[in-house]
Amino acid sequence: MRRYLALLAMIGAATLAAAPEAAQAHCDTLDGPLVTAARQALDSGNLAPVLAWVPPQAEAQVKTAFDKSLSVRKLGPEAREMADHWFFETVVRVHRAGEGAPYTGLKPAGQIDPVIAATDQALADGTVDPIAQRLADAVKEGLHQRFRRLKALAPPRENVAAGRQWVAAYVDLLHYVEGLHRLVSGAAQAAPDEHEHAHGGHEAH
């Protein structure tokens, strides 16, 4: 059972890896890890955690933006707010460029996908079990739904229309299983290399 759970969790994780928009939006939010790191950097003066999110060739740009923001912050509360927001926009834009994605603006807090928030919480708690169970349940439910739909239909015989319904359900099940298997056996392993290449060799989220 534990082995089965681990397999389904791995499949679910690979499914997330195939949905870059969700992860990118995670980094766009005002309560996401990147903006949180940027906010802490402005308060502490330590920029290193932010630089970990950008490719090496963009470090100078981020450092310049950081220094400018720190200077403007000294001009008053309103200037501080504007400087902070500008710095957040800058680091998110640079990060997304490193991911090969366009900048679409900062997203309000509270818009992080629940499964992404659960992953962050798992990291904070130091245990992967809750997110593994969540992913395993989602994958298992997807399989059961497609299997039940197929079993409720009759295989092709005299009724062509009914037969087409069975074929459609059968193809849907196969595509679901094949897609998950392909992610686990191929894309999931390739993702770290692709990510590293996009960032010029540095590690990021």
| pLDDT tens for each residue of 137-149 | 999 999 999 999 9
In a domain, 188, yes or no: yes
Containing domain of residue 195, as a range? 1-18+126-205
pLDDT(188) > 80: no
Q: Are residues 130 and 203 in the same domain?
A: yes
Predicted local distance difference test score (pLDDT) of residue 192: 53
Q: 107 pairs with which residues across the strands?
A: 29
Asked whether the whole model's pTM tops 0.75, one would answer no
Residue at a domain's end among 79, 111, 143 = 111
pLDDT(14) > 70: no
Measure the CA angle with vertex 100, ends 95 and 102; round to 5°: 75
Q: Could you tell me which of 125, 113, 98, 102 has the C-alpha nearest to residue 31?
A: 113
In a domain, 24, yes or no: no
Distance CA 88, CA 109 (A): 13
- List CB contacts of 47: < 8 A, sequence separation 6 or more: 41, 62, 63, 66
In a domain, 96, yes or no: yes
Q: Which of 32-46, 115-129, 177-191 has the highest mean pLDDT?
A: 32-46
